[in-house]
Amino acid sequence: MARDDTTAAIKALKSKLGHTFSDEGLLDTALTHASALDPADSGRGSYQRLEFLGDRVLGLVVAGMLHRQFPRADEGELARRYNQLVKRETCAEIATDLNIGAAMCIGQSEAQTGGRMKSALLADMCEAVIAAIYLDGGFDAAEAFVLRIWKPRMLSFRGPLRDAKTTLQEWAQSRGLPTPKYDVVSREGPDHAPVFVVGVSVQGVAQGEGKGGSKRIAEQAAAEAVLRREGVWNE
């Protein structure tokens, strides 16, 4: 991608963020991959330290948002809603909506391997951007951004509020069975868009399989497959 295209993408991203940076270097750092830096600068000049901070800021804002929105929800429901909103896949989807991939500063080798589309990198840079807003404008600015982007997802969520892996484990334990065992059956697709097939084994029960873009998603799908087959899961 040409420098002019990246510059235009960064400009468009700033507009979507809804925050005017006093220190634009913070956003530049949040969008910089180590592959674009000299090895001596990769530790501090890339997004990684900001991603660490942004993850915590996102978690606090989302937890507060859920606590206010669902005053009657118990801890378990809040935790499941929370996990849906802060998981890597959600952050990657939001990064895609914001077109963060086009605004990344990455090295040629990383770009050639699909770096701008890698789910893990998109998720991490999304959190780094949150940290950049937090450091530049304080907690209120970061909170305003997260609420604007994440709240519609919170309100539109229609998925199960129970965790399939946890439910399967509890079901197995209630029958006096060992903890379910998960194994990767196969992995296909490019690095930026992998597809995992995971099998789950429960003693005395036919194996279940699930597919997903990460091991975690595939494990959940495998657990759900067993629960549905056994008539336990009706979500």
Please enumerate, by residue number, every residue annotated as part of a binding site for Mg(2+).
51, 124, 127
Catalytic-role residue among 127, 136, 163, 219: 127
DSSP 3-state of 134:
helix
Q: Is 55 considered catalytic here?
A: yes
> Amino acid identity, residue 155?
L
Closest CA to 182 of 211, 223, 227: 223
Q: 160 CB contacts (<8 Å, ≥6 apart)?
A: 233, 235
Binding residues: 51, 124, 127
Q: What are phi and psi of 20, to 5 degrees?
A: -95, 115
Tokens of 109: 């080798």
Catalytic-role residue among 55, 136, 143, 219: 55
Cα separation, 61 vs 146, whole angstroms = 7
Q: What are phi and psi of 44, to 5 degrees?
A: -105, -20
Q: Provide the sign of the torsion angle of the four alpha carbons 103, 121, 128, 23, taken in this order.
A: negative
The residues assigned a catalytic role are 55, 127
